[in-house]
């Protein structure tokens, strides 16, 4: 700027105004604010003489705001946020509570009573209620090394049985759901719709018949791999064999489409993600994965895959584990699964291995991160894939570190509050909390019905 007039001083006065600014040509004027985020700055039309807010599409983007996203401080849940949260059907894609019963050898629910508070766990019924849980996928996880021990099917069946009995033992809180319609009905009755997910294709022991039996027992998704590569699918945390899916791996995905079981791509390699997305006729899910661009763990989803997931119609359900959310924690835990495999070899007895693993985790602490970083991952997925392709997959009771202010299942409303603070509206938040997953399950059911109708003809 050019100063045409200079300050004029008179004796004894300390404050005088005599500034005048040279006129700037109108075509060069812009309006900007130091408070506007870089994302908002990109929305300013480069050829406008005065910046204006772009039109808002409620289905594709959040409301433009000149306020930078809050990234620290205590989250206070407002009445408005609670109202939105209650209106939604909150669906969590992954909870490992069933494994906690096995770890404690509590198959009759005598040592752990989730009807009361269980402070050593992330999950119990009072906190599920407090968090507004509408539907929960309970993980029927068994260790990947059970494949070599030839116990994978036996252990998986036991975990499925455990989940079914847990639901029946707490009928005032839970009811098994087998379909998208069941989720809606059970939620309307004030209960938590309970679904089963099998975490790892090792659980079928290379048998499509076992896969179909799992579906009949109520399993509604299967993660194609866990931490180890299979003969038919590559894991993100192991060496590749097929560089994607083998011919049998393709049959597994096709069979899942035909029976109406969700194809879960958490834990698999990027090549396997691409391969499954290419051949699946139904939308896929990532039941508990986060954004690779923000935390470059191989378990997370790269932007290229996020775009393919959007084309497929699928949904990425953000994991809360600090080791997948916080960049520094990712760096510190990149060799985690290798260390686990070494401990499994050193301690073949499972109980001894679990003790050794807990000690290893204690000896290798990681920064927890915050709830705000979890929402950053949600926002990144929205930015790349769109509002229709993101959800929540906590991984509670299967992880040893959780972000600050996201300590357990009671904390979900805080996510709703942060989304509201960052400019998302009710319709969008309801999609993120569970609406997107509900749509994907419905579409998967429709694909299966189409297969059945073709077979009848």
Where do the structural domains in the chain lie, given as residue ranges?
A: 80-456
Q: pLDDT exceeding 90 applies to what percent of the chain? A: 76
* Percent share of the chain, pLDDT over 70: 84
Would you state the pLDDT for residue 68?
60
pLDDT top residue among 59 and 341: 341
Whether pLDDT at 27 is above 90: no
Q: Confidence class of residue 334 from pLDDT cuts 50, 70 and 90?
A: confident
- What's the rounded mean pLDDT across residues 73-83? 97
353 in Cβ contact with 294 (< 8 Å) = no
Examine the pLDDT at 157 and tell me if it is beyond 90.
yes
Q: Residue 339: which H helix or E strand, with range?
A: helix 336-346
Mean local confidence (pLDDT), 67-93: 91
User: Is a pLDDT exceeding 90 seen at residue 432?
Assistant: yes
pLDDT digits 0-9 by tens, 203-225: 999 999 999 999 999 999 999 99
Distance from C-alpha of 444 to C-alpha of 291, rounded to nearest angstrom? 24
| CA-atom Rg of the chain in angstroms | 25
The yes-or-no verdict on residue 25 having pLDDT over 80 is no
Question: Is pLDDT at 276 greater than 80 in this prediction?
Answer: yes
Determine the pLDDT at residue 456.
75
- CA 261 to centroid of chain Cα atoms: 18
Q: What is the pLDDT of residue 74?
A: 96
Sign of the alpha-carbon dihedral angle for 399, 405, 408, 412: negative
Average pLDDT of the chain to the nearest whole number: 87
Fold (CATH) for 80-456: TIM Barrel (3.20.20)
Give backbone dihedrals phi and psi of 385, rounded to 5 degrees, phi first.
-100, -30
CA 390, distance to chain mean position in Å, is 7
pLDDT band at 297 (very low <50, low <70, confident <90, very high): very high
Residues 337/331, Cβ–Cβ less than 8 Å: no
Of the pLDDT bands very low, low, confident and very high (cuts 50, 70, 90), residue 200 is very high
Evaluated on CA atoms 372, 330, 389, 430, the torsion sign reads negative
The pLDDT, as a whole number, for residue 327 is: 96
Catalytic residues: 94, 96, 199, 226, 267, 288, 395
Q: Which ranges in 386-435 belong to alpha helices (H)?
A: 412-421, 426-430
Distances (CA, A) of 269 to 12, 198, 226, 314, 414: 76, 18, 10, 17, 32
The model's confidence at residue 336, banded by pLDDT at 50, 70 and 90, is confident
What pLDDT does 69 receive?
67
Residue written as token pair 């070599």: 148
* For helices 436-456 and 247-259, angle between their N-to-C axes, nearest 10 degrees: 90
Helix (H), strand (E) counts: the chain: 18, 9
Lowest mean pLDDT among 8-12, 91-95, 233-237, 358-362: 8-12
**Predicted confidence (pLDDT) at residue 38 exceeds the cutoff of 60:** no
More confident residue, 12 or 103: 103
Asked whether the whole model's pTM tops 0.95, one would answer: no
Residue with tokens 């866990």: 226
């Amino acid at each position: 700027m050019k100063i045409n007039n200079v300050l004029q001083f008179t004796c004894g006065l300390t404050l005088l105004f005599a500034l005048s600014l040279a006129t700037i040509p109108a075509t060069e004027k812009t309006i900007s604010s130091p408070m506007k985020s870089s994302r908002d700055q990109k929305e300013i039309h480069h050829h406008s003489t005065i910046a204006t807010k772009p039109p808002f599409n409620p289905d594709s983007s959040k409301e433009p705001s000149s306020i930078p996203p809050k990234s620290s401080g205590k989250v206070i849940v407002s009445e408005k946020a609670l109202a939105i949260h209650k209106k939604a059907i909150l669906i969590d894609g992954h909870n490992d509570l069933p494994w906690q019963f096995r770890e404690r050898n509590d198959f009759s629910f005598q040592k752990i009573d989730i009807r009361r508070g269980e402070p050593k766990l992330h999950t119990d019924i009072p906190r599920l209620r407090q968090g507004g849980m509408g539907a929960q996928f309970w993980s029927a996880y068994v260790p990947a090394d059970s494949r070599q021990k030839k116990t994978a099917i036996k252990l998986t069946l036991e975990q499925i049985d455990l989940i079914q009995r847990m639901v029946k033992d707490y009928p005032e809180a839970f009811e098994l759901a087998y379909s998208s319609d069941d989720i809606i009905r059970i939620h309307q009755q004030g209960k938590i719709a309970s679904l089963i997910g099998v975490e790892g294709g090792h659980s079928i022991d290379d048998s499509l018949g076992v896969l179909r039996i799992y579906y009949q027992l109520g399993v509604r998704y299967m993660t194609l791999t866990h931490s180890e590569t299979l003969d038919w699918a590559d894991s993100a945390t192991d060496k590749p064999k097929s560089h994607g899916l083998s011919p049998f791996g393709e049959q597994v995905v096709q069979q899942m489409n035909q029976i109406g079981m969700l194809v879960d791509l958490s834990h698999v390699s990027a090549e396997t993600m691409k391969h499954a997305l290419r051949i699946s006729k139904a939308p896929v899910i990532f039941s508990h994965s986060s954004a690779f661009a923000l935390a470059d763990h191989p378990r997370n989803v790269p932007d290229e895959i996020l775009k393919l997931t959007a084309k497929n119609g699928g949904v990425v359900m953000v994991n809360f584990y600090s080791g997948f959310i916080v960049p520094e924690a990712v760096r510190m835990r990149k060799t985690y699964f290798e260390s686990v495999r070494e401990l499994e070899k050193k301690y073949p007895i499972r109980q001894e291995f679990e003790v050794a693993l807990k000690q290893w985790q204690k000896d290798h602490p990681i920064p927890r991160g915050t709830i705000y970083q979890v929402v950053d991952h949600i926002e990144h997925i929205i930015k790349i894939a769109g509002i229709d392709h993101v959800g929540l997959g906590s991984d509670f009771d299967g992880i040893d570190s959780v972000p600050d202010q996201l300590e357990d299942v009671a904390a979900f409303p805080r996510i709703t509050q942060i989304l509201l603070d960052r400019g998302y509206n009710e319709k969008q938040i309801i999609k993120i909390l569970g609406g997107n997953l509900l749509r994907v399950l419905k579409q998967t059911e429709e694909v299966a019905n189409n297969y059945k109708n073709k077979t009848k003809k």
